[in-house]
Each structure stands twice: as C-alpha cells, then as structure tokens.
Amino acid sequence: MMMKYSVFAVILCCLTHGALAATHKPAPEVVSTSTQSATEERSADQTPALIEKVRELRERLRRELAKSRLGTPEEARQFRTKAISLAVEFNNLLHKKSRIQAIGDEDLEIHQLIYAHPRIASHIFASELEICKSTEAYDYKAQADAITGKKAQAEADWTDAIALAPEAELLLHRGHLYLTQHKYDQAIDDFTRALKAGGTAPLYHSRATAYYRKDDYAAAAEDLELFFKHDTNKEYSRSVSVSHICAGLRKHGFTLEGCAAAAGGNGK
C-alpha cells in the first residue's frame, strides 16, 4: 500500500511544515465543486439533452448511495465501483477542463475523485462502510475528510482501519494527521509503528519532523541521518536537504551530510 497513497501523505505533511518540493507522483488538479450547485449545470454544454443527463446521473448516484445495507465485501466492492463510475461520469460532463481519467484504473479514479470532490468521496465511502467494513473504505473516507477539515472524523476512521489491520500506510496517514494537530508524541508513535510494520525511508523524515517540532533536535538529527542513508529517491532527498529542518538543525549545531551537501551548493 505504501506507494499507492504517498501523495496524500505528502499533502498532509505539507499542511504541517510547508510545501515539499518533491513527491513520488503528482497530485491531480483540485477542483472545488458542489454537486448541488446550479452554476455547475450552467458551466456544462448548454444543451437540454446534456442537462437532463447530468440530472439523471445525479439521481442515479443518490439511488446507489441509498442502497447501503449490511452485506458482503463483494457487495461493498460492487457498490464502490458503481458509485465511483457515476461520480466520475458526472464530473467529466460538468468539468471538461478538469476531467478525471476514466482509463479502467479504479485506484487512480478514486484518488482523483478524493482530491477533486472530497465531500462526494466521503459520502460514497461512508455508504460503503454501511454495507461492509474494510480498511480501504476507512482509509479513503479518512483521506477525503482530512481534506475537508474534518480531522476528528478522519482520525476516528484511521483508528478503525488500524484496528482491522495495523498496516504501515495507515499508520503513516494517521501520523501525519497528528502532525497537523500538533500531537507530536502520537505522531512519533505512529511513525515508529509504521517503520516496524515495514514502512520505507520517508518515515524517518516524517518522524524527524515530529521530533524537531517538539524541540528534540538530537532525535530529529538522528532520524534525518537515517533518512538520507536509506532513501533511494534522489529528488525527494534533495528536497529534504534544502528544507527548513536541515536549516534549523544547522542552527542548533547539527551538521548532517545530506544537509551539508545542499549548503555547499552541489545537492548530490
């Protein structure tokens, strides 16, 4: 799961300590919309047939969401596929310049929908969870809720997901949410658990950020050294090397090889 959701983890991290220059894959363009807005219909091609199609899709999506019930994982998955497909079609009719790529990759469609229409996405996954509980549905809903500022709900959903399966990616996401709430000890605990669960080198950077924010500069420097030692993404490492954490640690007397290279101008 780690690579699938790296963009979202970076966005949460950015909310805490500024924008990172590099990510493992670019986030889709965010479009602020409301499915209930009459102005959206006016933004579409003004033909009666298309307007009627948009209304029909809206009602179909509402009917699909209303079918929520206790059921099997397969029924929940089928519901998700239908609801996502309808939401993507709806978006693409209304927003021709901000189309969601419908190329048969449901994971990609889900992530684009979460960033473009987080409230719709949250509604879909809340309905899926009423059919059957799964770590994926909790995770997706938490991502959508975090984007819309519902941090308490996002934390609760990630906690439920972790109770089902304490996977590194889920712990990473909740850890970054804790960072945005200045809950540094909880963040450190989640990043530590994520590393033990098989998490990758960027977690050392995340944990270093938490230590730095709670003024434990020695621990932050130690984790940042581990990050530079183990990270294999040169672009990501370069962005960290010029981050405020490197600059701050130098001010507190910690000279790290990765940070020192950036200060020297070669950035290798």
* pTM as predicted: 0.76
DSSP labels for 96-153?
Answer: TTS----SS-HHHHHHHHHHH-HHHHHHHHHHHHHH---HHHHHHHHHHHHHTT-HHH
* CA-to-CA dists, residue 57 to 38, 50, 88, 99, 114, angstroms: 15, 10, 10, 16, 19
CB 141 within 8 A of CB 126: yes
Second-level CATH architecture of 1-23+169-268:
Alpha Horseshoe (1.25)
Give residue 87's pLDDT.
Answer: 87
* pLDDT-based confidence at residue 90 (cuts at 50, 70, 90): confident
User: What's 44's DSSP letter?
Assistant: S
Q: Give the model confidence (pLDDT) of 229-240 as tens digits.
A: 999 999 999 999
What average pLDDT does the segment 180-206 reach? 96
Sign of torsion over alpha carbons 166, 196, 21, 25: negative
Residue 156 corresponds to which tokens in the numbers above? Answer: 């609760």
Alpha-carbon distance of 133 to 6, in angstroms, equals 23
pLDDT tens-digit map of 129-152: 988 999 999 999 999 999 999 999
Q: What is the pLDDT of residue 211?
A: 98
Mean pLDDT, rounded, for 112-118: 91
What's the whole-number mean pLDDT along residues 88-105? 78
| 266 vs 203: CA distance, rounded Å | 25
Please report which residue ranges of the chain form alpha helices under DSSP H.
6-17, 38-43, 48-66, 73-94, 106-116, 118-131, 135-147, 151-164, 168-180, 184-196, 202-213, 217-230, 234-241, 244-251, 257-264
pLDDT of residue 49: 76
Per-residue pLDDT of 7-37, as tens digits, reads 555 445 544 444 333 333 333 333 333 444 4
Note the pLDDT of residue 166. Answer: 96
Give phi and psi for 34, each to the nearest 5. -140, 125
Distances (CA, A) of 39 to 36, 75, 87, 259: 9, 35, 18, 49
Q: Map tokens 């945005």 to a residue.
A: 180
CA 212 to each of CA 185, 205, 219: distance values in angstroms, whole numbers, following the listed order: 11, 10, 8
Q: Which value, in Å, is the radius of gyration of the alpha carbons in the chain?
A: 21
Domain boundaries, the chain: 1-23+169-268, 31-132
Q: Which two tokens stand for residue 23?
A: 């990510």
pLDDT of residue 8: 54
Given a cut of 50, is residue 257 above it in pLDDT? Answer: yes
Structure tokens at 54: 């948009």
56-70, 134-148, 206-220: the lowest-pLDDT one: 56-70
**For residues 94 and 85, what is the distance between their CA atoms, to the nearest angstrom?**
14
